[in-house]
Amino acid sequence: MRASRLFSGVAVVPALAIVLIFFLLPIAVIIVRSFTDPEPGLGQYTAALADPTTLRVLGRTFATAVITVIVCILLGYPFAYLLTLVGPTARTLLMVLVLVLVPFWTSLMARTFAWISLLQRDGPVSAILGFFGAENTTLRGTLAGVVLAIVQILLPYMILTLYTALAAIDRRQLAAAQSLGANRYRAFWQVYLPQSLPGLFAASSLVFILALGFYITPQLIGSPKEAMIAQVIGQRVEKIVDFAGAGALSGILLIATVGLFCVVILAVAPLRRGVSQMISGGDAR
Amino acid sequence: MRKSPLVLVSVAAAAALSLAACSSGAAPDAAEGGGSLVFASYGSAYQDAQNEAFLDPWAAESGVTVQNDGPTSYPKIQQMVESGNTIWDVADTEPYFPVANCGTLVEKIDFSNIDTSNFPEGTWSDCSIPIAQYSTMMIVNTKTFDGADAPSTPADFFDLEKFPGTRMVPGWAGAGALEFALLADGVAPDKLYPLDTKRAYAKLDTIRDSLTFWNTSSESQQSMEDGSADLWLAWSGRGYEAERNGAEIAPVWQDNLLAWASLSIIKGTKNPDAAQSFIEYAAQAEPQARFAELQPYAPADLSARPELDELQQKWNVASPEVQQQSIVTNVQWWADNSAEAEAEWTAWSTS
């Protein structure tokens, strides 16, 4: 046992080396450059933060990611819940056929281009909206169109992560709650939902972080009015060839994201403690 | 723990794949004998035609092995030069780039064997030669606007009352929207530079809600073919290709902004002789005429006489009546102001 543990410890080294060399090292180089070019100091950061464009686009990026997470929860939670109810055959079918894994295996680019055709002026989505009375509505070049395209790409991450968490919840507790007098609604709300919160938090974090980095989708589906921070960073590198300034923007995004997560984790910590106390406390008694 | 060998195999496979991926991106070895040249350009049919018109005949003549790469990327060029590992020898860039970076990111060209007398004034510099011309111009959707009532001037482009509809313009500063806005606002062509960008943005703001943007020229062509806008500010070559694919559009030549495909030698090239030799070849009328027959770009050498079909003639920016209405982009202004102008554009467009 010990030998094989050592073996798997060694086995992980190449993967770590790849992450270190091809991911962490370039990030470190860019961040170091943002503090040293053209002269050592915080100049790039104060310049970036003094630029109203940075703050506006950063704010919009976080807002777009939050909206994406909310829509993903509203669509993904019921779906993941349904997956825990049905039998294994139906579950496999739902996962593979119904919108989870099939789009997961299709290239992001191919799907984004498909959304351009669907959402553009006089496209199918306009026609459908027109049928329901919203005439001349073009979603391409709007926040709604961008969020729709991002949600469609990130929804599988929400559903798959959430399903793992929901599948671990013992559904007999719901029956127990009902036998103790709770109605179905209350049993779900007070027994099931709190236990699913850690999983929901993990899935939301994943979707939120992935959404923050979206580049191609808002670039192709949105107008510059929906531009997210990755596009502004890309613009700085490609058009202005300003690695240090782009590095500072990346640094600000990184710090803002980590900071936000610290706040969120601190905020949900009492909640999670409550959940575990509820469960373990119940056991003790 | 029985999974471990499987994990190891997959990790090893990933490592092997990534190593293979790196080695394929490394610098090519110099070919034996005639030497080698790496040419970077913007890909697709455009780069294919550059190979057919310029690189293949030159390589056959000189015995040099040519490799293609791309798309042209300024940060990549900067990284190559900074790291002292120049992989590209000759690159196709926007005209302002070699003027802004002459001697620092691109090499000075030896003009002793190059005849510049037939190039339009202002299209060549110490570090670049033009190989083809095109225009950033107004293009009209003839399904929306037809006959004598169609918009026909830059001022019409900005007149939402007379010509309601969506306008599509380039999504960055250096591609002509600022110049076009100022021309529409009544600035005389010879008074365009230095650009009054405040005034340009004020003019653009008057049609802001009807504006959409293209970031790659293929997006603009797609839009013309779909009819997803009513007026475009786009490249003549894309107009030609869109119409050839069935787009219902018409060119407007008044105040077209002349631009050109520009070749430069990257600083620190490992094949300076081959690069200089290729630049000398590409500056000639004969290969430029050949290129103009393959792609909707006119020769920069105005003495070249390509054989054009009817549609190519319709979109030919080298024809005398078009040249009379052309305004040559001032690359020196762009070389001096590109960074601020692009930052200002981002601030405007994202708000």
pTM reported for the whole predicted model: 0.83
HSE (side-chain half, CA atoms, 13 Å) at B262: 23
Of residues B11, B78, B215, nearest to A219 (C-beta): B215
- Chain B interface disruption, residue of A25, A235, A241, most B CBs within 10 A: A241
φ, ψ for residue B8, nearest 5 deg:
-60, -45
- Chain A interface disruption, residue of B2, B11, B169, most A CBs within 10 A: B11
- CA dist B176 and B169 (Å) reads 9
In the stretch 222-241 of chain B, residues with CB closer than 8 A to chain A read: 226, 228
Supply the pLDDT for residue B277.
97
Mean pLDDT, rounded, for B84-106: 96
For residue A248, the 8-state DSSP code is H
- CA dist B246 and B280 (Å) reads 38
φ, ψ for residue B315, nearest 5 deg:
-105, 20
Of residues A52, A219, A238, nearest to B73 (C-beta): A238
Q: Is the pLDDT of residue A196 over 60?
A: yes
Cα–Cα distances in angstroms (integers) from residue A52 to residues A214, A215, B153, B213, B339, in the given order? 21, 20, 35, 22, 17
In this complex, is the C-beta atom of A132 within 8 Å of any C-beta atom belonging to chain B?
no
Mean pLDDT, rounded, for B312-334: 92
CA proximity to B330, closest of B338, B319, B322: B338
Q: Cβ contact (<8 Å) for B347 and A4?
A: no
- CA dist A97 and A112 (Å) reads 20
φ, ψ for residue B81, nearest 5 deg:
-70, -45
CA proximity to A214, closest of A145, A263, A264: A145
Helix residue ranges per DSSP H, chain A: 2-19, 25-36, 43-50, 52-85, 88-97, 101-105, 108-119, 124-131, 143-167, 172-179, 184-187, 193-212, 216-221, 229-238, 243-284
Q: Cβ contact (<8 Å) for B1 and A1?
A: yes
pLDDT, tens digit, for every residue of A207-223?
A: 999 999 999 999 999 99
Task: Give burial (CB, 10 Å; 0-12/13-18/19+) of B6.
Answer: exposed
Q: Cβ contact (<8 Å) for A11 and B7?
A: yes
> ipTM of this complex > 0.85?
no
Supply the pLDDT for residue B298.
93
Give chain B positions within 8 Å (CB) of A114. Answer: none
Q: Is the pLDDT of residue B23 over 60?
A: no
Instruction: Determine the 3-state secondary structure of B2 from DSSP.
Output: coil
Supply the pLDDT for residue A252.
94
Work out the minimum CA distance from B187 to partner chain A, whole angstroms: 27
Q: Cβ contact (<8 Å) for B215 and A120?
A: no
Work out the minimum CA distance from B32 to partner chain A, whole angstroms: 33
Work out the minimum CA distance from A246 to partner chain B, whole angstroms: 11
Average of per-residue pLDDT values in chain B = 90
Supply the pLDDT for residue B17.
41
**CA quadruple B4, B10, B12, B16: dihedral, nearest 10:** 180
In this complex, is the C-beta atom of B17 within 8 Å of any C-beta atom belonging to chain A?
no
Q: Cβ contact (<8 Å) for B15 and A5?
A: no
Give chain B positions within 8 Å (CB) of A241. Answer: 74-75, 78
Supply the pLDDT for residue B8.
42
pLDDT, tens digit, for every residue of A81-137?
A: 999 999 888 888 888 766 656 666 778 888 888 888 898 888 888 888 888 888 778
- Beta strands B36-40 and B90-93 are parallel
pLDDT, tens digit, for every residue of B116-164?
A: 999 988 899 999 999 999 999 999 999 999 878 899 999 999 999 999 9
